[in-house]
Amino acid sequence: MVSFAKGHGTKNDFVLLVDPDDELLLTDAAVRFLCDRRGGIGGDGVLRAVRARHVPEWSGDPDLWFMDYRNADGSIAEMCGNGVRVFARHLVAEGLVPAGTTTVGIGTRAGLREAEVLPDGRIRVAMGRPRLAAAEVEVSLAAGVPEQRWRARAVDVGNPHAVVWLEGDDLDGLDLTRPPVWTPREAFPDGVNIEFVAPVGDHHVRMRVFERGVGETASCGTGTVAVAAALADRGENQSESTWRVDVPGGSVEVTLRDGDAWLTGPAEIVARGDVAWPQEEA
C-alpha cells in the first residue's frame, strides 16, 4: 500500500505522492491506474514529490522538492500551473517545508517556480516569461469543416499551448470530446494544449481547454497564462495588467508585468488515504 492525497485547483485534479528518495516505480501503467476514475483514484494527472537530486535533468538546488508531473495517460509534462499550486499546498499541509513557510521554491521541468501562500488562502505562482511564437498555427475540431477552423497563437509557458480567440463562435457548444487537430503538425511535435477563449468584459474572458495526454479538463493553469499573454500581444492591455480567466472549474487571475507572469488561484487538498500499488504493467 502507498499513501496518497487528492487535490485540485479549480477542479483540475491530481493524485499526490510523496517519494523523497525516488523509490516508487511510477510507470505509465501505474499513472493510468491512479488516474482512472472508476478503477483507481481518479485525476487529470499525478504529482510526485521527490527530492530534486534524484531528477537527472535538474541542475539547480538538489534539496528542493521537485514536482514530477505526469498526465493521466502516463506521459511526462514540463509544467502545470494548477498542479504547482496544489503541490505547494500539499508541501505546507504535510509539513514537508518548515512551519510558517509562506513562499516555497519548487523544481519543475520548466525550471524553478516560486509559490506564495497569500493571506486569503489562495496561492500565487511566479510563472516566468511566456514566449509567443511568430509562426501561424491553424486549429480545427473536425477536418474538412471550414466553420470549425481557426487561427491560433502559439505560446510557450514552459509547456506548449495554442490559443484560439473565438469571434462570435459558441464556446459552450464546441465539441471537445475528440482531440482538436492542428497544422502544421511540426509546430508541436510533442503535442499541445489548446485553449478556446471568448470575451466576457474588460480584462475578463472565459476559456475551455483540451489538454494533451488528458482530454478536456475543468481548468488549465498554464493555459490561462498563455491566454493572457496572447491577448496582451493583441494590444488589449499595457505592460502591466491583471486578467480574470473563468474556466469550468472556477476562476483564476493572471498578472502580466514587463513580460513576466504570475498565476493566482485556489488550491485544495480534499482526501488522503492508501492505495494498493499496481504490481505489473497493464
Domains of the chain, earliest start first: 2-122+267-275 (3.10.310.10), 131-262 (3.10.310.10)
Report the pLDDT value the prediction gives residue 134, as an integer from 0 to 100: 82
pTM for the full model? 0.92
Give the three-state DSSP class for 47. Answer: strand
Q: Looking at residues 271-276, what average pLDDT do you find?
A: 96
CB 39 within 8 A of CB 29: no
In sequence order, which residues have a C-beta less than 8 Å from that of residue 173 and are 6 or more positions away?
none
- Check residue 143 and give its pLDDT: 56
Q: Is residue 211 annotated as involved in ligand binding?
A: yes
pLDDT score, position 33: 96
Alpha carbon distances (Å) from 58 to 53, 66, 128: 7, 9, 17
Report yes or no: 254 and 262 within 8 Å, Cβ to Cβ. yes
Q: Which of 179, 252, 181 is nearest to 210 (CA)?
A: 179
108 is in an annotated binding site: no
Supply angle C-alpha 225, 177, 194, rounded to 5.
25
Among candidate residues 220, 228, 245, 256, the one labeled active-site is: 220
Residue 148 is predicted with a pLDDT of 83
Does 237 count as an annotated binding residue? no
Q: What is the mean pLDDT of the chain?
A: 93
From 50, 72, 80, 226, active-site residue: 80
Whole-angstrom distance, CA of residue 28 vs CA of residue 24: 12
Q: Is 35 a catalytic residue?
A: no
Tell whether 60 is in a known binding site: no
